[in-house]
Amino acid sequence: MQTSKRLTLFRESVIRDMTRLALKHNAINLSQGFPDFDTPEPVKEAAVRAIQSGLNQYAITWGYPPLREKLAELYTARLGWNVHPDKHVTVTCGVSEGIITAVQSILNPGDEMLILEPAHDNFRPSAFIANAVPVSVALDAPDYRLEVAKLRAAVTPKTRAMLLNTPHNPTGRVFDQEEIAGVIEVVLENDLVLITDEIYDRILYDGRIHQSPGSLEPLKDRTITIGGLGKTFAMTGWRLGYVIAPERFAEGIRTLHDYTTICAATPLQAAAVAALAMPESFFEQTTSDYHQRRALIMEILTDVGFQASTPQGAYYIMADYSQLPIPQASLAPTEFAYFMASDVGVAVVPGDSFYSLEGYGRSTIRFAFPKKISTLEQAGERLLARLK
């Protein structure tokens, strides 16, 4: 028996590999993007209450009604159109499922989908799983700006969609108005569907405010907006995401979601209502905590001699190690990441693993910093001791 041809096109995530490597070497894990601090108490308590009150069977496949109602309320305000809980909202098992389902629902075999690289590692596989073709457009270090001319040049008669992540993993970019205007042009000129991954919408710096591309007038009826709770509420293991889509897309998304997972975990969906109802003070505290973490990790990386742009959103930094005063500074990113985990005791992700494009991501590694200050300080001590 052979596995499907599709599976020859991608392999298991390098990020998960790096987490295993961190465990093997007892390294501080700044590779995979999950917090080492806990989910807010009221949200955990809501999950326990939901289980004890008997919310333990399948939910309606596209989502537990109070959660869909809450999401519809939030997204009506955010997107500026009337998001209906029964028509436009699908609760998924994480943003990952949301992306796979959205992509499968619109692409036919051979269709092309634009992706910006560096990219989160499930973007290209989401196209392959639909027997479609991801077409990558590079964002260049160190600014990682989206160049509209490059985006336009990547379009062919087969292009059907674009998948856009903002705030962006792994660069920390928040695409600005000029860049989004470029996306709008290319999407409209070519009658594309835009799929947005906005999982880091609540992790922003320096007073930035998230604007969903799907709220912009020309994109309203052609954008599938995907969000999730894992990052905002430090509960990546709960596997909760959602897709907000105009009706013509939502029906297909729900059908695929039904046959893929039936539904997300019912008691956790009930507790997600409590998460989304957290007071403004929680979000303010989260923002303030992330500013502290960002300042500390940037100070450490600069002190050690890495070159890195300060993130505008999300919780990652792409850092160039080529100027470090150590012989390993000439290693390729994968070898350097192995050296980091085994010899330095800090696990990171090789920068080139976020690109399929040849020659990109050289001499870079990604640090994830959703960690306690004490964890970052400990990582800093190891980095300073071994790399400086």
Ligand X SMILES: Cc1ncc(COP(=O)(O)O)c(C=O)c1O
Q: Smallest gap, in angstroms, from Cβ of residue 15 to ligand X?
A: 8
Cβ proximity to ligand X: between 94 and 172 the closer is 94
- Residues in contact with ligand X by CB under 6 A are 33, 94-96, 120, 165, 169, 197, 199, 228, 230, 236, 241
Cβ closer to ligand X: 193 or 331?
193
Q: Tokens representing 232?
A: 């905002």
Smallest gap from Cβ 331 to ligand X, in A, equals 25
Closest residue to ligand X: CB criterion: 94
Supply the minimum distance, in Å, between the C-beta of residue 141 and ligand X. 18
Alpha helix positions (H), the chain: 14-25, 41-52, 65-79, 94-106, 123-129, 148-153, 177-189, 247-261, 266-276, 280-304, 333-339, 373-387
199 versus 337: smaller Cβ distance to ligand X: 199
Token digits of residue 146: 């989206």
In this structure, are strands 28-29 and 89-92 parallel, antiparallel, or unpaired?
unpaired
Measured CA to CA, the distance from residue 100 to residue 268 in angstroms comes to: 21
Min dist. Cβ of residue 197 to ligand X (A): 5
- Kindly list the distances between the CA atom of residue 212 and the CA atoms of 5, 90, 176, 186, in Å, as whole numbers in the listed order: 36, 17, 12, 17
For the record, the structure tokens of 55 come out as 């919310």
Q: How far is CA 327 from CA 149, 242, 322, 339, 361, in A?
A: 39, 46, 10, 11, 19
Tokens matching residue 313: 């959103």
Cβ nearer to ligand X, comparing 201 with 352: 201
Question: In terms of CB distance, is 265 or 304 closer to ligand X?
Answer: 265
Q: In angstroms, what is the minimal distance from the CB of 350 to ligand X?
A: 16
Closer residue to ligand X, CB minimum distance, 240 or 324: 240
Q: How far is the CB of 217 from ligand X (least distance, A)?
A: 25
